[in-house]
Chain A
């Protein structure tokens, strides 16, 4: 807020900071970038690009909503691709998926830097605070992506789908789909992001011997099922969860216990959906029996 109250020299008819709101999708943001350039707002230091659902209306700011326009989005995308190359575009997309409050603006500033200096390999300029912010964000998103590939726990359901619930900090489902698609070709599976209300679904009957099926997006799953997936567990699911819990408990070497290290590697915020963590330490099925 204090930033907004500082006195700036705005051009006439332009007394308040410019806020451009975009529909919360990558195309939405691209459309907003197009809008900024079409209206020559790019050199305004106070310019902000904010996702509509993150925006808190303010008395002194002037906000314009930009509707998503696929044609404009496509034009911007083509241009950025040319400027930044594959790896640069990957940074932009991964940064976008972080959904950080200020990411729309940061990304815009990076893009503007690239447009202003088309010959410079701008992604290497970590002295530029926007680039640095983006690179660090991409690193965090990458870490979350890797953790989701590790910590997804599928549960087998009565309709023969292996179903997993996740709540990642960042929106990484679009990044992990391919990993699971390559790996789990011979089972139906779905991964559902509870905090964002959508998931990805692999229908193995759509696959051919040479090509795994295309992933589908699923939304609006039954809330009671999401809260209590045990209601749709197949006959065997509890059995294998217990096997896994028994295994997890018995591979531990008590003499080397190190809770700090354990939590560092396996952050507590993920425990909620890890089947091995849903068990009392002295439960009967953890015992060694003959």
Chain B
């Protein structure tokens, strides 16, 4: 076994944690890997955030790069070849050791391992697979493992990775082909999508064989995900959401993550250093994403071609309701569940409660509030058996301004500097 140089490990860890911090996924959920007796760890369905960074993000996995050496020169990436940044590389044993030792101390749920590309895609991917393999077989580790698949890695390596990892992901990087061509001329969307296709096909194949052969191996039980950077090139929200929708349908992705671009490199192709991180835009994209995955909205309903950006002043469901007042008011006593979840301020949990509770009772705004609805928004859109005087406003010519003026809360604080960007 290779020995570990502990003196140098701290410095490497600091470099390679910093280099991995723009990878967004922190999820350790949806895996069900039981401790088969005597081993270390298990992955439960819900996952646990063990800590939170000062920017308020969940820390549930040891999220690191194997190396930040890279043969590519993507403009948006701090690890790009031409960037003057301290470089480091872990050995396979060092990553295994840190994962085990952090897990033993209850710091983490598992490992998220990505990498810059040294030598070639295969050379790099081989090492990522080696880490996962040692953790599972020699160390009997049952915690969560998320591996990033490296562009250009061979199909055989992807298939092997999927046997040890709970989740695989490929970054799509930049949402538009033109943006990617500008910022990462060595990469293309087609090349990035190829591993997704491989993984998707294998998930389906193994699922089928598990129906007849119970002992067939598990393959990426927590599925695959992707992420893209927004605000580095001039893509519209319409393009972003259409692309996500395509991924969900075409590759059965579990999640698409969005990462508001943090300017840290001086490059004429990129927003200048000091440009605020588009945090509200990022938040709106996640809300839109939720509407597609849990609320039955189609991409075409969320952003419409004549106005291809999400409304920064209000969430996309409220924006949709304001644009489509012809569907309202919705009668909560009789409407279908699918329509009730479209009422601004009512989430899926509350909608389910409403459908149950209305069998026993005529529901009022008071009931909705008790069930957890944001009545300050919902009240403009619902009909109840009693009189709802707020409905009078639904036909106002300045309805949007009126509703926003009455419901603004969360984002009017420290982050208002951001709006200047758009």
**Measuring CB to CB, which residues of chain A are less than 8 angstroms from any residue of chain B?**
146, 149-156, 162, 164, 182-187, 207, 209-212, 236, 239-240, 242-244, 246-259, 261-262, 264-266, 274-276, 285-290
What are some 30 contacts across the A-B interface (CB < 8 A)?
A150-B48, A150-B50, A151-B51, A154-B106, A185-B35, A185-B37, A187-B40, A187-B104, A209-B37, A210-B37, A212-B37, A236-B101, A239-B6, A244-B105, A247-B14, A248-B53, A248-B59, A253-B21, A253-B22, A255-B277, A258-B55, A258-B56, A262-B52, A262-B54, A266-B51, A276-B51, A288-B11, A289-B10, A290-B86, A290-B87
Compute how far the CA of A112 lies from the CA of B58 in the bound complex, rounded to whole angstroms.
43
> Which 6 pairs between the two chains have the least Cβ-Cβ distance?
A261-B56, A289-B11, A256-B55, A250-B17, A265-B52, A250-B18
Chain A residues positioned under 8 Å from B140 (CB to CB): 186
Determine if B88 and A290 form an interchain contact, defined as CB atoms under 8 angstroms apart: yes
Determine if A288 and B86 form an interchain contact, defined as CB atoms under 8 angstroms apart: yes
Determine if B20 and A251 form an interchain contact, defined as CB atoms under 8 angstroms apart: yes
Which of B50, B86, B106 counts the most chain A CB atoms within 10 A? Answer: B106
Mark B72-114 against chain A: 1 for CB-CB distance below 8 A, else 0.
0000000000000011100000000010011011110000000
Q: What interface size band does chain B fall in?
A: 35 or more
Determine if A259 and B54 form an interchain contact, defined as CB atoms under 8 angstroms apart: yes
B239 CB to closest chain A CB, in angstroms? 24
Chain A residues positioned under 8 Å from B262 (CB to CB): 253, 255-256
Chain A residues positioned under 8 Å from B40 (CB to CB): 183-187
**Measuring CB to CB, which residues of chain B are less than 8 angstroms from any residue of chain A?**
6, 8-15, 17-18, 20-22, 35, 37-42, 48-59, 62-64, 86-88, 98, 101-102, 104-107, 140, 262, 264, 277, 279
Determine if B105 and A266 form an interchain contact, defined as CB atoms under 8 angstroms apart: no
Further 17 A-B residue pairs, CB within 8 A, beyond A242-B10, A243-B9, A275-B105: A149-B48, A150-B48, A150-B50, A184-B41, A185-B39, A186-B39, A186-B140, A240-B101, A246-B14, A250-B18, A253-B55, A256-B57, A256-B277, A257-B55, A262-B56, A265-B56, A290-B87
Of A249, A252, A290, the residue contacting B11 (CB under 8 A) is A290
Compute how far the CA of A253 lies from the CA of B39 in the bound complex, rounded to whole angstroms.
35
Determine if A151 and B37 form an interchain contact, defined as CB atoms under 8 angstroms apart: no
A25 CB to closest chain B CB, in angstroms? 28
A290 CB to closest chain B CB, in angstroms? 5
A19 CB to closest chain B CB, in angstroms? 34
